[in-house]
Structure 1
């Protein structure tokens, strides 16, 4: 805030000097024509416009560098910063900032030590601790999930083996039943052959 205020004061002094220079260099006569007045105002407009534009560009670039520093420090401590562009035009908040600027310069407060000089603040410690706890919970949940997946794979494998055994038993039972049917047919044929032989022998004996 103090840095921005000092830059603003310097810019205003530069603009004031532009007007003073015009007064001292051009306003030396008592009367001027319309064209002369227009020429002086046009020249003053160019100078003031250039000064204001340069200051606005410099302010924008300075704000970018400041935000970059803040975000870089936040990343080191695993903090997530979010910005709301719509709040930049909030008149109520802007008035509060203006009031803060006035009271801050009237009642200066002791400077706080930067994070990189005074160490990690209590807030950052809480954020880091919370992040580590969340990481631990996530790792535990992932471990439990992998355990469940392994158990599901074991159950699936056992189910596949059981289905394979059931198919094997069904095939063996079918082969056994076919074998029984074949044996029954063979025994029937054998009995019929024996009966035929017995009848033939009886007929032969009778003759």
Structure 2
């Protein structure tokens, strides 16, 4: 099967967008076909036509088809802009600057590669692809990449937290040993005080005080490091929740945009022209029935 040089996650995203584009293209082609069919049904009711009548029909059809093609091209451009906006927004959250090469958009070799990929993908998918194409919908913003990175960062912080806890236990063990040594030294100092006098006892007491100060400083430094790690983990979890909320808002916006597109389609010139053609056709049918009834009355 043809490949685009992407990983599995990104290739699936490309397939979803191509499925969305195919559904929109199929819908627009059906609309163009209906324009020609309406012209046949509504205007081609006689055996002969004058040049002016043919010119008028072709001009009317030209306006309708031109409007449909222009609307589709504009919609495709806007859709691509929305897709790029999704990618850029995700990149900016991680302080990345993506680059694009416009010249590659006209690279015939790359375009043929994409065409082969589309052909291989949608012909091999069979009925599954066709059933999914029959229900066009806007592709939501994929949150897997952001969540995965945040999860990795949280896991990394948890590993560091575990290491700090292990270090704390080690320091605690060392502190216990130091206290035991302190008690031993105090007992030794008491014995020495009886033998050597108050001067040497004061010197040993100062050494014990220095040892206690060092132990207190080590505990304070460890507690400070543990607090900073906990705060960073909480901040990352809050960012993950906020990101998911933003993604839900974007999905809701895309759903509203799809409904708005359907509503705008009914307000387009093509839709009104088709409606006018159907009205004219109905009037012509009524006129023909009226004439026919007159002939039957005379007979």
Task: Give me the TM-score of the superposition, normalised by structure 1.
Answer: 0.54
1:58 aligned partner: 75
Q: CA deviation at 1:66?
A: 0.6
Runs of 4+ residues deviating >6 angstroms: none
1:45 equivalent among 16, 39, 62: 62
How far off its partner does 1:80 sit?
2.4
> Does residue 1:97 correspond to 2:114, yes or no?
yes
Aligned counterpart for 1:27 among listed residues 44, 57, 62: 44
Quote the offset at 1:76 in angstroms.
Answer: 1.6
1:3 paired with 2:31, answer: no
Higher relative contact order (CA 8 A, sep 6+): 2
TM-score, normalising length: structure 2: 0.38
Distance apart, 1:103 and its partner CA: 1.0
State the Cα distance separating 1:115 from its structure 2 match.
5.1
Shift of 1:14: 0.4
Q: Which runs of 5+ in 1 are unaligned?
A: 130-207
Q: Indicate whether 1:70 and 2:97 are aligned.
A: no
C-alpha distance after superposition, 1:179-201 (max 9, x if no partner)? xxxxxxxxxxxxxxxxxxxxxxx
> What CA distance in whole angstroms lies between the structure 1 residues aligned with 2:62 and 2:142?
45
Aligned residue number for residue 80 of structure 1: 97
Matched residue pairs, number? Answer: 123
Unaligned runs of 5+ in 2: 1-17, 130-140, 157-299
